Chain A
């Protein structure tokens, strides 16, 4: 009966559309509102070029880990060990770079592999021995934190070679400085060009998708929403890009982060692996009976998480210019919170990369904004906790209402 009545429904009204997709627009609007709010209360400090750069450097690793965590959560699991793996791989990289003097072009891939192995060591118990991920990764959290203290012998190691540091603190050089029309204000013309080009590409592909959908009779979002959404994104992106271009341009980590976001968006929306993860999270038994090797898939989502945590670990170590046994404490909670704020479901099967990224940015902007305002870490935690609860309540409320 439900099917038949909805079949009679013709084009949904704008109100219906807004109601059905309130989560996605709501998230974007929330981010913009939070940005504007802190821009005002910090008297414009938030969007100063230096601070935007700081924001990126401070939050890149959360975003990067949120990509892997989203897959884990969609698969129906959780990973509490990422903070400890961050410290562990940071420590390993410090030992190899500083103590043993190995070149970073070897250290980076080796650390990524070791991170993958750490993920594999946990994924094995979850996937093949069917031990709940909460327990396995809680154990992992303790084990890898302990190992970090052991290998670092309780002391921080640093400083790092300059070239390794640039992984985190370096900037993309201005390849197009010779074309710069206003060298007085814009100090990195390349970054501005890239931002404008990306915005143009996004609009082009967005329009192309709409045409494709029209051709195949797929429902499109109302044009007003498409235009509004694109408008907001374009304005914000170009504004941020311009601000960055008046400082040092793109930080290297921004490029790494951007490429990874694009890659994981592709994996989750277009690849068979992504589709299988969603199916497994939605109904593991049905996925298994459909010939999907659910054990192997679960195993690899943990390996993937380990690799991303290792990358984050090196970025953090490079940024602090020292590996400490206390690095990454509590990061797992920020990463998990980012996914849930971004609309992932704790029961699996639901969640989007874009959501997790926006969730991480919301947390990042709040952290940064509150720091500028001079609020202590105590109040920051309190506010973040309430925002997480509010976001998930919003989800549940919408679901029950609809």
Chain B
């Protein structure tokens, strides 16, 4: 077990004007699970791209030793050939092809270009058994959930005789059950002698499975922690990532709660695509002025769907129920109407649903309220500039100017641009869907601070999050959702990870 399988020495990678990696060292022993952590943009993914040959030898400085030999990969297939397989955050599966076709894509079992389907399917079945996925090899990728897709990727890696498996944020879009299954699988592989490198933001998961943790900050290695020799707390890891102590991960809250702003009653919604399936059942909730209300639940519980169906019926079908603002019934049947009554929805998917990536910060900021900077359809450039500059300063968006394209911003700054856009519509209630997803620790704190400020200004905040500590740290009241129903409402004192999980589990038994 003391065999070093991989050593990366003094890796330095420069992009025009940016030093992405600066003398990074990484040592991985055979048969261990090695976690790689760091803030977004710290250089983790770049390092893995160097390792897997996405950036070919010669485009970086430093040496890669694998199996005690210096390796120079010029393409990804060079690294795959000797058993280094990387699974990216965005899965590389073809949705309309079957599991078997995907696993052997580019590597088909064939003679003279004719595929041997019988062997393909039986080999696929073997691989699926190994990863514990109970699906037919002929099932299409699009018909199985994201958790299972992740397992297909791993099965694909196994088909290539993987020795060193690299997983980039494998559990980012998985629910707790699927994440646990995946982590167990990694532990299982470790027993069989496979080595894995896992990149993750979820420190609790890393603590569960990792043997070693290497922390990267600003393109350099900070330290490697050995999880067997010392007891490593999450705070200890965070300290390494941000370079300072994170005394309190959540800013203090002194809520001043006022009248009820938003009230949703008897909200029933059918599924957007499977139109005969009822997805939300009799959902009721309220948000008061100055209050931060959380919605907890597993992936697929119906949280995002609740938010989007209320926000201008932007999700779902056959929607019934009543929405009140300040106690008066309001019409939220279209997005412009929902905005007009004072609602704003900050999406969980800022790249696809929140930002126009090739537009600059200014254009994104004013997009939802262009009339606010225009008269009779003509944009007042000076006013627009002032608005964008104002929010850039207020929310501390780090960019060289308001003319920087959104695509070039970090996750945290992109999120602030989306927030700017919605704040400029002067909403009374903001629905924040996973507002800190994919954002590094420092920027998360800033987002929490902004949320507190908004509540202090008397706005109502409805926050959807999959990270329970985040809800517990920021919310005054938490609704728990499961399978399209609200199954519990917990006050700040009642709420804990255990009470939330208990509410979910109990409701699961009932139905």
Which positions in A face B, CB cutoff 8 Å? 1-7, 9, 216-219, 270-273, 275-276, 278-279, 282-283, 285-293, 349-350
Contacts and interface: CB of A to CB of B under 8 A. Distances in A.
A286 B311 CA distance: 14
Interface of B: 17-18, 20, 41, 219, 311-312, 314, 335-336, 338-339, 345, 347, 352-359, 363, 367-368, 370-371, 374, 377-379, 381-382, 385, 398-401, 403-404, 408-410, 413, 421, 425
Given A5-B18, A275-B363, A286 B353 contact: yes
B400 A6 contact: yes
Contacts of B17: 5-6, 9
A283 B352 contact: yes
Interface of A is mostly: helix
B381 A3 contact: no
Contacts of A285: 352-353
A282 B379 contact: no
Given A3-B400, A7-B399, A7-B400, A282 B356 contact: yes
A232 to B, nearest CB: 26
Contacts of A1: 18, 20, 41, 219, 410
B410 A3 contact: yes
Nearest to A278: B359
Central interface residue in B356, B374, B403, by most chain A CB within 10 Å: B356
Nearest to B366: A275
Contact of B367 (A2, A273, A287, A293): A287
Contacts of A7: 398-400
Contact of A218 (B41, B345, B401, B421): B401
Contact of B371 (A272, A290, A349): A272
Nearest to B17: A5
Given A3-B408, A3-B410, A290-B368, A283 B356 contact: yes
A349 B358 contact: yes
Contacts of A292: 367
A283 B355 contact: yes
20 contacts: A1-B41, A3-B408, A3-B409, A4-B398, A5-B17, A7-B398, A7-B399, A216-B382, A219-B403, A272-B378, A275-B367, A279-B367, A282-B359, A283-B356, A286-B352, A286-B354, A286-B367, A289-B314, A289-B335, A349-B359
Contact of A282 (B314, B347, B357, B404): B357
A2 B409 CA distance: 7
Contacts of A293: 336
Given A276-B370, A285-B352, A289-B345, A3 B398 contact: yes
A287 B357 CA distance: 11
Contacts of A290: 335, 367-368, 421
B385 A216 contact: yes
B430 to A, nearest CB: 14
Contacts of B379: 270-272, 275
Contact of B378 (A3, A6, A270): A270
Nearest to A273: B377
B41 to A, nearest CB: 4
A318 B398 CA distance: 57
Contacts of A272: 370-371, 374, 377-379
A127 to B, nearest CB: 15
Given A3-B410, A271-B379, 11 more contacts: A1-B20, A2-B410, A3-B398, A9-B17, A216-B385, A217-B401, A272-B370, A286-B355, A291-B368, A291-B425, A292-B367
Contacts of B356: 278-279, 282-283, 286-287, 349
A132 to B, nearest CB: 18
A339 B20 CA distance: 38
A291 B358 CA distance: 19
Given A5-B17, A291-B368, A279 B401 contact: no
Given A270-B379, A272-B371, A3 B352 contact: no
A6 B360 CA distance: 14
A276 B335 CA distance: 15
Nearest to A209: B381
Contacts of A282: 356-359
A393 B401 CA distance: 30
A276 B352 CA distance: 17
Contacts of A287: 356, 367
A350 B358 contact: yes
Contacts of A3: 398-400, 404, 408-410, 413
B131 to A, nearest CB: 33
Contacts of A275: 363, 367, 370, 379
A15 to B, nearest CB: 13
Nearest to B41: A1
A217 B403 CA distance: 11
Contacts of B400: 3, 6-7, 9
Nearest 5 interchain pairs by C-beta: A282-B356, A290-B368, A1-B41, A272-B370, A7-B400
A272 B366 CA distance: 10
A349 B406 CA distance: 14
Contacts of B409: 2-3
A272 B376 CA distance: 9
Nearest to B370: A272
Contacts of A283: 352, 355-357
